[in-house]
Amino acid sequence: GAGVSQSPSNKVTEKGKDVELRCDPISGHTALYWYRQSLGQGLEFLIYFQGNSAPDKSGLPSDRFSAERTGGSVSTLTIQRTQQEDSAVYLCASSLGLSNNEQFFGPGTRLTVL
Amino acid sequence: AQTVTQSQPEMSVQEAETVTLSCTYDTSESDYYLFWYKQPPSRQMILVIRQEAYKQQNATENRFSVNFQKAAKSFSLKISDSQLGDAAMYFCAYRSTGNQFYFGTGTSLTVIP
């Protein structure tokens, strides 16, 4: 596609349920990033992938959060046993490579945990 | 850990005038990158301008320019000839040598016709 796409655009779930957020990066982009943006806040860096590898997972807020990337393309961010404080917009971005600094962002997934 | 501070939650500017958005950061690294991103109500983040720390010359992109003061750890954004389409949230960001990005809390810019 022309840009980074994310699905779903909005997700409402009940506390305790698992959710899976998807990111389709721009074709050919080897680097992929996940961020969380809470209401009125800046972006919180969660994790990045170079290819299928995530060298540093320390930015993930808790062990309920996990992310994977397969085939060097699509990535999924999974949140298990969701809590109300997980409510936020989750943004994905991709870039040609780690040495290329221009990240292209997707439109985000707005997650609401009731 | 690196931190990025934007001390102006809101700013306003008259159309065609100039406005400067402030950003400071804290780091012990010597080589890094700095960015300004724009986020309009559509939520799509757009790169406005970037600066490599090893470059002394301030980056410029059309009406957007930065004032990068490495010693002071300051990275302000100047928007000249402001246009209605410039209204958005502006985020300052820092990229570490470990490829992690740190964002400020943003400045909401209003452009007054």
Residue A98: pLDDT above 80? no
pLDDT at A101 over 70: no
Residue-wise pLDDT tens digits, B67-78:
999 999 999 999
Give φ, ψ of A86 to 5 degrees: -80, -10
Q: Determine whether the interchain pair B100/A59 forms a contact, defined as Cβ–Cβ distance below 8 Å.
A: yes
Q: Which residues on chain A are in Cβ contact (under 8 Å) with B106?
A: 41-42
What's the CA gap between B16 and A87, in Å, rounded? 38
Q: Is the pLDDT of residue A69 over 70?
A: yes
- Is B59 in the A-facing interface, judged by CB distances under 8 Å? no
Contact A45 B102 (CB under 8 A): yes
As to burial, measured by CB atoms within 10 angstroms (0-12 exposed, 13-18 middle, 19+ buried), residue B37 is buried
Beta carbons of B45 and A44 less than 8 Å apart: no
Comparing CB atoms, the residue among B33, B50, B103 nearest residue A42 is B103
- pLDDT confidence of residue B75: 96
- Alpha-carbon distance B70 to A95, whole Å? 26
Mean pLDDT, chain A, whole residue set: 92
Q: Say which amino acid occupies A39.
A: L
Q: Among A31-35, A70-74, B32-36, B108-112, whose mean pLDDT is lowest?
A: A70-74
Q: What is the mean pLDDT of residues B91-112?
A: 91
Amino acid identity of residue B72, one-letter, is A
User: For the segment B18-76, what is each residue's pLDDT rounded down to a tens digit?
Assistant: 999 999 999 998 889 999 999 998 778 899 999 999 888 899 999 999 999 999 999 99
What is residue B6's three-state secondary structure?
coil
CB-CB neighbors (< 8 A) of B43 in chain A: 89, 107-108
pLDDT over threshold 60, residue A1? no
User: Considering only CB atoms, which chain B residues are within 8 Å of A42?
Assistant: 4, 6, 91, 103-106
Could you tell me what percent of chain A has a pLDDT over 90?
73
